[in-house]
Amino acid sequence: MKSLSIIIPAYNEENRILPTLKALDDFFRKNNFSYEIIIVNDGSLDSTVKVVEECRKSNPNLHLKLANLERNMGKGMAVKKGIEEAQHDIIMFFDADLSCEPSNIKRAFSYFENPDIDIVIGDRNHKDSEIVNPPSFLRRISGKIYAWMVGKFILKGITDSQCGFKVFRKEAAKRIFRKTTIPRFGFDVELLYIANKANFRIMKMPVRCINSPGSRVKVISDSLVMFKDLFIIKANDRKGLYDNIGKY
């Protein structure tokens, strides 16, 4: 049976987390998986925890767990916490707004039929990807500039480091996330940089994504932080912080 841990970082997601959990419940009722869903509450100030707890009580057949960070530490740290908690053979994470639909899960699993594949990442730039409600012009432009810089200086061959849909073999995830340090949006680039350095094999897959109109991304300020993170990643590497991972 397919064995899967899903990690969903959540910060003030009281209005979006329940539809996401219902969609996952529907998916797993129709597909034969051994699974766990780990919601990592990233210091939410709203009723996110209450909504998740009520969903767990009202849906005892939904294999739902809740992990908590005492304060808001950023998506990177929330995902890292989820990786530490995850138990199943394949570990994935995606966003609380379910921008990448559950239908992508089955496609991702097919790649792991090849024993040499360690990581599968969603690529919204793939020719077969389907993007519903494309992001604003400003977000597209800033995204293209960031992707160019990532590809030029950090990750050659990766055209979409920021897609929120990433899937790992358990051992690869555990090894990579022991070394991650970036707390917020730049963590995607960091984990892929570490994976490349350790010679894990990464495959890009097309995805079907629906951009959320309620996105809280701040294009200018978040972009500046992400650009700064690129320099931090390079500095960390020079310090040897990403050494001695070892491919299993």
User: How far, in whole angstroms, is CA 85 from its chain's centroid?
Assistant: 15
Expressed as residue numbers, the domain containing 77 is: 1-98
Using the 3D structure, point to which of 98, 130, 160 is the last residue of a domain: 98
What tokens does 107 get? 């496609």
- The verdict on 94 and 119 lying in the same domain is no
Bridge partners, residue 3, by sequence: 34
Note the pLDDT of residue 151. Answer: 84
- The verdict on 139 and 228 lying in the same domain is yes
Structural domains counted in the chain: 2
Distance CA 206, CA 213 (A): 22
| 110 occurs within a structural domain | no
- The verdict on 162 and 243 lying in the same domain is yes
What tokens does 206 get? 């097309």
- The verdict on 145 and 243 lying in the same domain is yes
| 107 occurs within a structural domain | no
Q: State which amino acid sits at residue 182.
A: I
Strand order in the sheet with 64-69: 64-69, 33-42, 2-10, 90-93, 166-169, 119-122, 202-205
- The verdict on 70 and 152 lying in the same domain is no
> Of 240, 149, 244, 247, which Cα lies nearest the Cα of 202?
247
The residue assigned the tokens 């494309």 is 134
Note the pLDDT of residue 137. Answer: 75
Reported pTM:
0.91
> Of 117, 122, 83, which Cα lies nearest the Cα of 104?
122
- The verdict on 37 and 144 lying in the same domain is no
- Assign residue 74 the CATH number of its domain: 3.90.550.10
Note the pLDDT of residue 55. Answer: 96
Q: pLDDT tens track of the chain, all 248 residues?
A: 689 999 999 999 999 999 999 999 999 999 999 999 999 999 999 999 999 999 999 999 999 999 999 999 999 999 999 999 999 999 999 999 988 999 999 999 999 999 999 999 999 989 999 988 877 777 788 888 888 888 888 888 898 999 999 999 999 999 999 999 999 889 999 999 999 999 999 999 999 988 776 555 555 667 788 889 999 999 999 999 999 886 55
